[in-house]
Amino acid sequence: MFWTVIDSPIDPLLLVGDETGLRELQMAPHEPPPAERDDEALAPVAAQLADYFAGRRLAFDLPLAPVGTAFQQKVWLALREIPYGRTTTYGEIATGLGQPTASRAVGLANGRNPIAVIVPCHRVIGANGTLTGFGGGLPRKRWLLEHERTVLAAKTGEPVATGLW
């Protein structure tokens, strides 16, 4: 296992990976794991994140290796299907997984997502259209959503939505 820390508009991010792929993306505050720092091994991740934050990347193409239960893995895969600049709800994800009564379980799996931003848990909102919990804090979630909407509006000419998410 190896790690690096990169700068971002939402504070320094800790990246942790191994030979299979990226395992974690943690927002500050964070503490590096008892492993070797290897900036070069995680350079492709850092480059794609830099492009994302600069508005040049709408999707990530990286080997990911998050550790979780079978259900968590299904939820994390579903999160990766949420289009850039768009949002969905826990209930919509649960329904999409064929388990319409599992919105709370989806919320728990979403909260345990170890690769925030790249596995876009920030794109999940409450059923009433409001921002809900985010491991990185609601100000970061709001920043990520506004960033994506602004970039998308610039690329498509669509106006930036305001009000409820």
| Residue 65 domain flag | no
Considering the domain architecture, whether residues 74 and 152 belong to the same structural domain is answered as yes
Other C-beta atoms closer than 10 Å to the C-beta of 130 total 10
**Pair 102, 46 in one domain:** no
Position 162 scores a pLDDT of 54
Number of domains in the chain: 2
CATH of the domain at 35: 3.30.160
- Active site amino acids: 121
**CA angle at residue 136 from 70 to 38, to 5 degrees?**
75
Query: Does one domain contain both 40 and 79?
Result: no
Domain that holds residue 42: 2-53
Residues 47, 74: one domain? no
Whether 19 and 77 share a structural domain: no
Provide the pLDDT for residue 6.
Answer: 97
Give mean pLDDT in consecutive 10-residue pieces for the chain, a chain of 165 residues: 97 97 94 94 98 97 97 98 95 96 95 97 92 87 96 84 52
What is the reported pLDDT for 81?
96
Residue 164: per-residue pLDDT: 47
